[in-house]
Amino acid sequence: MTDAPIGDRALQRLRAQLAAPSQVAGRYTLRGPLGRGGMGEVHRATDAQLERDVAIKLLATELAAPDLADRLQRESRVLARLEHPGIVPVYDAGVLEDGRVYYVMRLVDGVRLDAYARDAAQRGVTRGDLLRIVLRIAEAVGFAHERGVVHRDLKPGNVMIGPFGEVLVLDWGVATTLGAPATGAGTPGFIAPEAAQREVATDARMDVYSLGMVLRDLLGAHTEPVGKPLASLLATATAERPEARYASMAALAADLRRWLDGEPVSVHRESPLERAGRFFRRHEVAILLLLGYAIVRTFIFVRRGL
Amino acid sequence: MTARLPDTRDTLIAALASDQPADRDRALDLIARAYRDAVVAILALRWGLAREDAEDLAQEFFAAAIAKQWFARFEPARGRFRTFLRACLDDFARSAFRDAARLKRGGAAAHVSLDAAATALGSDADADALFDREWARSVLGIALERLRADCEANGRRIAWSLYARYDLSDLPDAQRPTYASLAAESGEPVTQVTNHLHWARTRMRGHVLATLRALTGDEAEYRAEVRALTGAEPA
């Protein structure tokens, strides 16, 4: 292998790998990179004290500017405030000798939602499963909103599906407080139209829009036709004007839950036919049993009459 | 081929000034291997030479440097060895092109093409970045040779093969093998793949630092070169 010159990508990776310390805080042994984001690199590490594997997010050397160090530190503090099953817990944080900040979090050996959705059909994932994932995201982000934190970069790549099916919202690096000026942070295709305007105050409905786009993305990968209630839910979540959207993540979560439970969603007025259809789908087994029983009883009655 | 480096306790200066010809030769060989590709790249970029001509001139440069003991004049207090070597190279190339011009005027065949020099391109920043990248590639290449020998010597061929497949893969991230696929290929459990890779990376770090130690004049230069290669402070 060394007979061939090192390629440019491999060279870049090797240099980045060498930039990572082998030990952090004399306690964590780095065991290789897991991924790289806009702000830093995430490494698998072993915590010698507790003898368990963890993940360490470390500011990339070429990005060691003070504002990014502040952002990574802010991210760790935001995460530490958000204790929720849908948000990765932070265990520790600190600064390396060379000034690079890092934080230690739970290691999740999972699959990013974009990859998960891509293989949805092969995995036998139903539309209901995908909606349940979106509901879990809505619950986690809604919890953050209650504590005054807006994620601002919701997208399938920032959600991890854990080995036990747990749904974790990651990458809170551009999260900010409700009411803070928008800075255009976010990802094209998922960012709310008003979030790109810097003079606007950050609002929870920006995350509602982004999650709506995540849902649209996931449903787009699924072949089943979307019925009117789900289409209305989607249209409301991704409305251009914030005032036409769900007022909160909790309201979107409530409608997702209703749809999953076979109940009418708040943003769609059902016709009598749709109501009957939904009633039938919801009580399909009971109705069929009742119908079968009625047919048998009728048959017996007719035979006795004869 | 496995590089035998000067002892990590030796500095480049000590090796170059050694009264032992073998030590001097090893140091010069290491310098040539660490800088040859960077020198060729600079000659091609800054002096507009075709690859083959740049390789020939690089060969002449190192031969002249050894014959005239240029590198022995390096003083760490005055700057990095890399900067010193670049200055030597610029002087050498300028002189080579001057000689070529003289020969051309005299009607003899010029060894170096003046037309090429006239079209030399690339800003100082481009040249510096290119020199840095090629130097880094060579230093890591030397360290990789040592790692491979290390793996062989320690009965860890599997660690080398996994490291080569994963860390040295030049594929984009999405197309690289995963730990799971490496485990399936090698018949090792994923935890063992992780352990082998961790071992190889730790050893590689040691070889890189030893190579840099052997290529620098003093502690300050060593630390500066570790920073230049990795972007991080040495531990």
> Is A153 among the residues known to form the active site?
yes
**What is the Cα gyration radius of chain A?**
25
φ, ψ at A36 (rounded to 5°): -135, 130
Identical fold, A8-106 and A111-269: no
Q: Where are the domains of chain A?
A: 8-106, 111-269
Instruction: Write the pLDDT tens digit of every residue in B160-206.
Output: 999 999 999 999 877 888 888 999 999 999 888 988 988 898 889 88
Which CATH number is A111-269's, of 3.40.50.150, 1.10.510.10, 3.20.20.80, 3.30.1130.10? 1.10.510.10
- Quick one: tokens of A60? 């990339």
Pairwise CA distance, residues B33 & B18, whole Å: 20
* Catalytic position from the list A47, A92, A153, A171: A153
Matching residue, tokens 């470390």 = A58
Binary contact (A15, B229; C-beta < 8 A): yes
Question: Which CATH number describes the domain made up of A8-106?
Answer: 3.30.200.20
A7 part of contact set with chain B, CB < 8 Å: yes
User: What pTM, to 2 d.p., does this model score?
Assistant: 0.63
Binary contact (A19, B232; C-beta < 8 A): yes
Task: Output DSSP code: residue A167.
Answer: E
Pairwise CA distance, residues B45 & B61, whole Å: 16
- How many C-beta atoms lie closer than 10 Å to residue A242's C-beta? 19
A8 part of contact set with chain B, CB < 8 Å: yes
φ, ψ at A125 (rounded to 5°): -80, 125
Pairwise CA distance, residues A108 & A134, whole Å: 19
* Pair A108, A160: CB distance under 8 Å: yes
> Which of B140, B142, B191, B202 is best to mutate for the A interface (most A CBs within 10 A)?
B140
Minimal CA–CA distance to A267: which of A219, A291, A293, A231?
A231
Pairwise CA distance, residues B190 & B186, whole Å: 10
Distance set, CA B3 to CA A297, B103, B109, B140, B152 (Å): 93, 40, 39, 12, 14
Please check the confidence at residue B108 and state whether its pLDDT lies above 70. Answer: no
Task: Output DSSP code: residue B34.
Answer: H
- How many C-beta atoms lie closer than 10 Å to residue B198's C-beta? 18
Chain B residues with at least one Cβ partner in A under 8 Å: 37, 133, 136-137, 140-141, 144-145, 148, 160, 164, 167-173, 194, 197-198, 201-202, 204-205, 208, 229-233, 235
Binary contact (B230, A32; C-beta < 8 A): no
pLDDT in tens, chain A (306 residues): 456 789 999 998 898 888 877 778 888 988 877 877 667 788 889 998 999 999 999 887 655 566 778 888 888 998 999 999 999 999 999 988 767 789 999 998 889 999 998 888 788 888 899 999 999 999 999 999 999 999 999 999 999 999 889 999 998 888 888 988 888 888 999 999 998 877 789 999 999 999 999 999 998 866 667 788 999 999 999 999 999 999 999 999 999 999 999 889 999 988 888 878 877 877 888 888 999 999 999 998 888 876
ipTM: 0.82
